[in-house]
Amino acid sequence: MQASLLLEDGSYFHGQSIGFPMETSGEIVFNTAMTGYEEVLSDPSYLGQIVLFTNSYIGNTGITLDDLESKHMYAEALICKNIPAYADNYRSKKSLHEFLYNQKKSAIFDLDTRLLVQKIRDSGCLYGIISTTDNDIISLKEKLKHTQKKNLANTVSIYSKTENNHCITTKDQEKKYKVAVFDFGIKQGILECLSNLGCDISLIQYPFSIEALDAIQPDGIFFSNGSGDPNILASETSILENMQKILIKYPCFGICLGHQLIGLSFGAKINKLNNGHHAINHPVKSFLTVPHKVMITSQNHNFVVDIENIKNEFEITHLHLNDNTLAGMKHKFLPIYSVQFHPEANPGPRDAEEIFLYFIELMNTFKKEKNNA
């Protein structure tokens, strides 16, 4: 199929398309990972976004269902330079085209992805519209004007709940810790990491109640990754009010959106990056060890926490070495810590997987103090 791509700055591209004939819009973000397109497309954090891959070929290995981070493709669409006619992987269950068609999503390719990346790198993330049915630039401009920039976390959580999105596969071991997981769009890999460390997981969908949480009597709370602007989520819901009650009662750990919401709960500002961090090769310096060490991490976010006005309460645990933005923090007095990167990777390196062990330590300490009280 022929397809068209229009950006909000007026740039217009023609290309080819595979997947489902459709029209979709979203914020275009580029991902520089050389592998892992299956995990990226099925990551709920990409809801509302069109993923532009910088790698020359996408779809070489087809789709392996066991590698997906959820049962659905959450990215609105994908953009890439080339898509091979055939997938070559003995584990593959279907081609990228079949996957896209079944998910009612599409991909546009055979266009100048280098120019697109340069535009986003220089101008920041841009909204765009992709159509396989309308090639009229004036018509597409009018449609793009009505693209809504909205809070998406509630949508992800409802989708997750109604579609039974998660299938936790775990090691056969005793569950030692009750963990309430607040699901804003959680990845399968995070659930597996927690479960494999002995966590008995209770998924709590947003919006949530304090009463439901207290009934579980958890040893710890996990705030998940997710999509959308945390500032909008905070302004349109009572989530911060509820989190402020939770954060003083339990050991808490947050990743990505969860990290940002913890920062907002204590009064930190959330700033938007020019073009975000979306890849599996981001260097992060950890201050949790002596000597300090550098980890290569997987990241997927457009926003960062500005810790400056909460330094009396929080200390920096991790720093992004490319731009010196905050990559992790912990509370000085309460059992709370959070990171901006993804220690479970999927895709990506496993350098930071030990971060989950700090959460286990917090819960162990909390349980001992609770038993001694």
Q: What is residue 68's predicted lDDT score, i.e. its pLDDT?
A: 94
Q: What is residue 154's predicted lDDT score, i.e. its pLDDT?
A: 56
**Domain covering 153-372 assigned CATH 3.40.50.1100 in the classification:** no
- In sequence order, the β-bridge partners of residue 108 are 17, 79
pLDDT band at 8 (very low <50, low <70, confident <90, very high): very high
Look at 19-23, 183-187, 333-337 and tell me which has the smallest mean pLDDT. 183-187
pLDDT band at 170 (very low <50, low <70, confident <90, very high): low
Q: What is residue 369's predicted lDDT score, i.e. its pLDDT?
A: 84
For the question of residue 344 being annotated catalytic, the response is yes
Q: Determine the CATH number of domain 2-145.
A: 3.50.30.20
| Residue 361 in this model has a pLDDT that exceeds 50 | yes
- Joined together, the tokens standing for residue 107 give 């991909």
- What's the whole-model pTM score? 0.92
d(C-alpha 130, C-alpha 6), whole Å: 7
pLDDT band at 134 (very low <50, low <70, confident <90, very high): very high
Q: Enumerate the domain spans of the chain.
A: 2-145, 153-372
pLDDT band at 174 (very low <50, low <70, confident <90, very high): confident
d(C-alpha 52, C-alpha 118), whole Å: 12
d(C-alpha 197, C-alpha 124), whole Å: 39
pLDDT band at 158 (very low <50, low <70, confident <90, very high): very low
**Of 296, 282, 301, whose CA–CA distance to 340 is shortest?**
301
Look at 153-162, 185-194, 250-259, 333-342 and tell me which has the smallest mean pLDDT. 153-162
pLDDT band at 373 (very low <50, low <70, confident <90, very high): low
Average pLDDT for 25-30: 94
Look at 124-133, 201-210, 269-278, 287-296 and tell me which has the smallest mean pLDDT. 201-210
| Residue 252 in this model has a pLDDT that exceeds 70 | yes
Beta strand 177-184 with 199-205 is parallel
Cβ 293 vs Cβ 286: under 8 Å:
yes
d(C-alpha 59, C-alpha 73), whole Å: 14
User: What mean pLDDT value characterizes the chain?
Assistant: 90
Cβ 57 vs Cβ 37: under 8 Å:
no
For the question of residue 320 being annotated catalytic, the response is no
Look at 76-80, 171-175, 193-197 and tell me which has the smallest mean pLDDT. 171-175
For the question of residue 256 being annotated catalytic, the response is yes
Q: Which phi and psi (to 5°) does residue 102 adopt?
A: -65, -30
Average pLDDT for 96-119: 96
Could you count the other beta carbons within 10 Å of the beta carbon of residue 95?
A: 18
DSSP 312: T
Look at 115-129, 135-149, 188-202, 304-318 and tell me which has the smallest mean pLDDT. 135-149
In 65-198, which ranges are E strands? 77-79, 106-109, 126-131, 177-184
Look at 63-72, 159-168, 212-221, 229-238 and tell me which has the smallest mean pLDDT. 159-168
Cβ 156 vs Cβ 227: under 8 Å:
yes
Cβ 215 vs Cβ 178: under 8 Å:
no
- Of 161 and 242, the structure prediction assigns the larger pLDDT to 242
Q: What is residue 159's predicted lDDT score, i.e. its pLDDT?
A: 47
d(C-alpha 327, C-alpha 333), whole Å: 20
d(C-alpha 189, C-alpha 183), whole Å: 13
Of these residues, 256, 259, 301, 320, which one is catalytic? Answer: 256
